[in-house]
């Protein structure tokens, strides 16, 4: 190769294009990794707040049991729903089917918890119990956190899925096995808000 050879500038162009392409691949890959990690972190946080709710339930059941022990069916229903809801775990590779099962179990627990909370209307002494009122406030706060964390998960999934599907980053996603994440879906009965009152 001589100094005046016309192929020398052409090879620099190809090297420049290869370097730019390499940086683009690295940037796209790292962007996908960052988005996937955010989704995984949000999944963990959603599970964390649902676990907090599940951890409050035994104490709540014990307080109610002291006032409404003959409401055995309701109390057992809450305990059984809690057991089912805590058996199913989400993971970073959760499929839409797994997410539906998990949501169904959490929905059953929400319904059972709603029935438990409604017992206070039939038992005025329970309604005035300080432990019950404190636990009730904690459950209400946890429900609010659940809604917030689910919303944050939805946003993280949306951003990640856009990167997985938008051209040209979808090429990198396909090459390295990045798959879209599952969204929370509204339950069939979600069009009507559940009536759980915290007074």
Q: Is residue 193 part of a domain?
A: no
Q: What is the mean pLDDT of residues 20-27?
A: 92
Q: Is residue 195 part of a domain?
A: no
Is the predicted pLDDT of residue 190 greater than 50, yes or no?
no
Q: Is residue 3 part of a domain?
A: no
Q: Is residue 196 part of a domain?
A: no
Q: Is residue 169 part of a domain?
A: yes
What is the CATH number for 97? 1.20.1440.20
Residue 85 domain boundaries: 9-187
Structure confidence by residue, pLDDT tens digits, 142-183? 999 999 999 999 999 999 999 999 998 999 999 999 998 888
Q: Is residue 61 part of a domain?
A: yes
What total number of domains does the chain contain? 1
Q: Is residue 199 part of a domain?
A: no
CA distances, 192 to each of 102, 133, 145, 146, 195 (Å):
20, 26, 20, 18, 9
* Distance between first and last Cα of the chain: 86
């Amino acid at each position: 190769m001589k100094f005046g050879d016309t192929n020398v500038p052409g090879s620099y162009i190809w090297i420049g294009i290869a370097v730019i392409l390499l940086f683009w691949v690295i940037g796209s890959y790292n962007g996908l990794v960052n988005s996937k990690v955010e989704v995984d972190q949000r999944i963990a946080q959603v599970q964390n707040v649902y676990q907090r709710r599940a951890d409050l339930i035994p104490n709540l059941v014990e307080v109610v049991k002291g006032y409404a022990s003959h409401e055995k069916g309701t109390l057992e229903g809450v305990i059984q729903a809690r057991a089912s809801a805590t058996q199913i775990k989400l993971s970073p590779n959760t499929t839409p089917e797994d997410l539906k099962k998990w949501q169904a179990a959490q929905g059953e627990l929400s319904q059972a918890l709603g029935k438990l909370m409604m017992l206070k209307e039939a038992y005025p002494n329970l309604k005035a119990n300080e432990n019950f009122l404190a636990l009730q406030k904690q459950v209400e706060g946890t429900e609010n956190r659940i809604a917030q964390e689910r919303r944050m998960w939805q946003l993280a999934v949306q951003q990640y899925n856009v990167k997985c599907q938008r051209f040209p980053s979808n090429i990198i996603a396909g090459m390295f096995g990045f798959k879209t994440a599952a969204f929370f879906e509204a339950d069939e009965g979600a069009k009507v808000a559940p009536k759980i009152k915290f007074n």
